[in-house]
Chains A and B, each alone.
Chain A
Amino acid sequence: MLWEIWGRHKVKFFWDGAALAASCFFVFWKNHGASQAVGEMLGCATFFFFLGGYGQLLVCLCNFEVDDRTMQFSFPRRLLLKPVSTAWLVLVAMFSGGTVIVTIFVLWAELVWRHVAGFSASDLLWTSAVLLSFFWWMQALAWSLPLPKARMLLLVLMGMLHYFVWRMPQMRANAFSGWQWPILFALLGSAVPAAWIGLKRMRQGSWEGSSRISELWSSVRIASARDRQKKFRSAFAAQFWLEWLRQGWMLPGISAAMALLIVAVFGAVTWVLRKVSGNSWSGGDPETLGLTYPFILALLILPLQISVLLTPVLAKFDRVQLSSELPVYIAIRPMTNGGFVLAKLVMALATSVLTWLVVAAAFVCLILMDQDALLSKAGLVTPLGPLPLMTGCVPVLLLLIVWTWKNLVDGIGAGLNRYAWIGLASVYWRMIFLVGLFPLVETARTNVIFRETLLHWLTTILIACLAAKIAVAIAAFGWSLRRNAITARAIGWIAGGWLVCGLFVAGYAGHVCSAIHQPGLRLWVALGGFLILPLADLAIAPLALAWNRHR
């Protein structure tokens, strides 16, 4: 069984090893002669490479497979036919995987983490134990439920629970003091029987046929089918419908779940604080204000980050599609490559709009729960009152929608081609770039010489980047035209859209810069606006699809 797990994932294990080795190398470089700015970036890269490599290792050792026909995740079915007990199958997969997971984490912590942040032996033991528990629950859930959506939801909840448990020793209000180990033991102890029961049910055939929940869901679908008998107005509408059903709801759905959780946790925390302070909590309390900002920041940042991660999924025609090859039922449709890409772009826009409407609603909830504390503080900046302030947020909302859309479509060309590794490399590169921005800004804030040098060259750097972007776009447009992947009219629309959106960003930024008396920032923000909007990607996407569709 161990040989089978190894054989199935050996290429992935190689990449995991490379990512973890790179993580060690970065920290070694950081500690041996890297400048402060480079060191900050290496610190982020260290952590990022660890997350990538270790995350994939967790998934591989989880030991599940996807059925080609039903797209159902499950324990490898062929192993169920072996003459061994269910307990043996469970224990071997859980204990061997768990041993590898913990050993690699401890090694990484000793080689890397210790050099980035100090920690004690008890910290290491605690984190390893939480990781082991999370890994075992990942396995238990992957093997236990024939309902993919419920499983995903439970996995997210289990992830949050484990994060909460992990943070228990560090919580200031030590309300859970003494409870952390019993809770963790309960989690660890319940994972094995949960996995055993799940696998036993699967082996006894409980997964076959429809579950009561899916039967109920089917009957609801059939009952509501009468309303959906209308024909699609066009091929584009049909393709948009397919894209929306498969991928469109994902970002709004995840964001809504996150927003709900943030609002719920915020509500619970403020309620507890009010109780603790004898209901005397006032809105202007700096302690509580300090608490509100991280929640708002999380609410605003999460959709942007998730949108970057979702790009490879969005580029597929079916989110559970296993290979990068185009499904036959899509490839044979009489639609141009540009038409397929356009359906994706419009779906990405719709998904971005819906996401930010959900987030805006959650934002309003947070403000209401904050009992006007944030608004009264903001009122010091804009004395016009809350309503004009909220109205002024509309352009910001538009900017966030455009930014999210840009994140979703940025790597679409890389994701549409037939090589999965190009799509993955694109996501890694963009995450490194995004994460790298934070230490860059932090170093510029703290290091005066670096800041002055950066500001001195910033206009030149931005103009050079913009020129490079336009040159790459011209080359991509020319290439796509030659391959008949795009029309001259479409190029006109893309270039026109880029200019209009760029001018909107530049104009709004200019207005804000004047309002805050920082006219010097105007050019940088305007150039940044043009840089951030996708241009070449939109020409590369139909070209990549043409490569995939007509190999």
Chain B
Amino acid sequence: MKFPSPSSAEAVIAVSGLSRHFGTKTALNDVSVFVTRGSVLGLVGENGAGKTTLIKHLLGSLKAQAGSVRLFGLDPVRDPVGVLGRVGYLSERRDLPGWMRVDEFMRYTQAFYPAWDEAYAGQLLKQFQLDPAQKIKSLSQGQQAKIGLLTALAYRPELLILDEPSSGLDPVVRRDILEAIIRIVAEEGRTVLFSSHLLDEVERVADHVIMLQQGRVVLNGRTDEVRGEHISAVLAFAEPPAKTPVLAGAHAVAGYGSEWRVLFGGSHLELETAAVSIGARVVEERTPTLDEILVARAGGKS
């Protein structure tokens, strides 16, 4: 279930033992992430879990206090040109030059990337229905996200980093962004790191998922395996328990009366054994969604 080792030549992102403190607060604690070429990594976690801090380290905006960060084998702080020239980035903060027109921003961005594909940029401009003569500050949030995505995609970066790209956007724009990601993954086999609160999106596009919690990696593996290692089950008790039952291996237990829903981390057999040990039986079980896993783990803080 682990990603390739640091020695893997295929690793586009290789983060090893990364720690970061802001004053007394620990934002990242011994985080290791390895992402191979062509994979789509979903980075999930609650607010303040350290997702954006990790992404800032990948972009070289933050310098590692402990551990190392390598993209394409290069240090993004020591070699920003070598790294950033191969990375496309779309931020949750639409930090764009509002005074520029759309076409001016495209021309400005193009100058930094020799691989800029004008035909592709034109195609995206048409697809996103953006007016090149319009000023960026007069664009809606969704349009600003689209121009950000356009300028992140038009030079066909080897690695695309998306930090909460659909935050605050309507479903239509979210769908457009998601489709663009799916297309570049499907057609070009590029690597994508995708951070989002909207776990149905992550589930749809990511083949790997990493969950951060309080600066630590608590889940790391293939999306289907992560889901497969958890069971959402309903337990029935002969007599309603007086207080919330404690089930070994459960990340969350909720309910009342004689039926309780649990999110269990383990196999079917382990769940049966644990249920019997507290005097309950499993009456229903299914594979949980990523959303349920995140909520359960974030609620349980484990």
If A231-B110, A238-B108 touch, does A334 touch B81 (CB 8 Å cutoff)?
A: yes
Is A550's CB within 8 Å of the partner chain B?
Answer: yes
Q: Which of A333, A550, A551 contacts B112 (CB 8 A)?
A: A333
For B113, give the chain A residue with the smallest CB separation. Answer: A334
Contacts of B107 in A (CB 8 A): 229, 231-232, 238
Give Cα A327 to B99, complex, Å: 13
Give Cα A238 to B112, complex, Å: 8
User: Beta-carbon contacts of B96-140 to A below 8 Å, as 1s and 0s?
Assistant: 111101011001111111000000000000000000010101100
Is A484's CB within 8 Å of the partner chain B?
Answer: yes
Interface members, chain B 58-86 (any A CB < 8 Å):
59-63, 77-78, 80-85
User: Beta-carbon contacts of A390-412 to B below 8 Å, as 1s and 0s?
Assistant: 00000000000000000000000
Q: Is the CB of A550 within 8 A of B63?
A: yes
Is B170's CB within 8 Å of the partner chain A?
Answer: no
Is B25's CB within 8 Å of the partner chain A?
Answer: no
Which of B33-41, B87-95, B268-276 lies on the face that meets chain A? B87-95
Give Cα A237 to B82, complex, Å: 19
Distance of B121 from chain A, by nearest CB (Å):
12
Distance of A93 from chain B, by nearest CB (Å):
27
Give Cα A241 to B99, complex, Å: 13
Contacts of A328 in B (CB 8 A): 89, 91, 93, 95
Give Cα A210 to B133, complex, Å: 14
Is A80's CB within 8 Å of the partner chain B?
Answer: no
Q: Is the CB of A232 within 8 A of B103?
A: no
Q: Is the CB of B97 within 8 A of A318?
A: yes
B interface residues, how many (CB within 8 angstroms): 36
Is A234's CB within 8 Å of the partner chain B?
Answer: yes
Give Cα A218 to B84, complex, Å: 33
Contacts of A550 in B (CB 8 A): 60-63, 77, 80
Contacts of A229 in B (CB 8 A): 103, 107
Give Cα A335 to B63, complex, Å: 17
User: Beta-carbon contacts of A184-222 to B below 8 Å, as 1s and 0s?
Assistant: 000000000000000000000000001000000010011
Contacts of A239 in B (CB 8 A): 111
Give Cα A331 to B107, complex, Å: 17
Interface members, chain A 224-274 (any B CB < 8 Å):
225, 228-229, 231-232, 234-235, 237-239, 241-242, 245-246
Give Cα A237 to B111, complex, Å: 8
A interface residues, how many (CB within 8 angstroms): 36
Interface centre among B82, B85, B98, B111 (most CB of A within 10 A): B111
For B108, give the chain A residue with the smallest CB separation. Answer: A238
Interface centre among A241, A329, A331, A332 (most CB of B within 10 A): A332
Q: Is the CB of B98 within 8 A of A232?
A: no
For B84, give the chain A residue with the smallest CB separation. Answer: A334
For B161, give the chain A residue with the smallest CB separation. Answer: A332
Q: Is the CB of B59 within 8 A of A484?
A: no
Give Cα A231 to B108, complex, Å: 8
Is A71's CB within 8 Å of the partner chain B?
Answer: yes
Interface members, chain B 130-186 (any A CB < 8 Å):
133, 135, 137-138
Is A336's CB within 8 Å of the partner chain B?
Answer: yes
For A336, give the chain B residue with the smallest CB separation. Answer: B81
> Given A331-B59, A333-B109, A336-B81, list of 7 further CB < 8 A pairs?
A70-B98, A70-B137, A221-B133, A225-B103, A231-B107, A327-B97, A551-B62
Q: Could you list some 21 contacts between A and B, CB below 8 A?
A: A218-B133, A218-B135, A221-B133, A225-B101, A234-B111, A238-B111, A238-B112, A239-B111, A327-B97, A328-B89, A328-B91, A328-B93, A329-B97, A331-B61, A333-B84, A333-B112, A334-B81, A334-B84, A335-B80, A549-B61, A550-B61
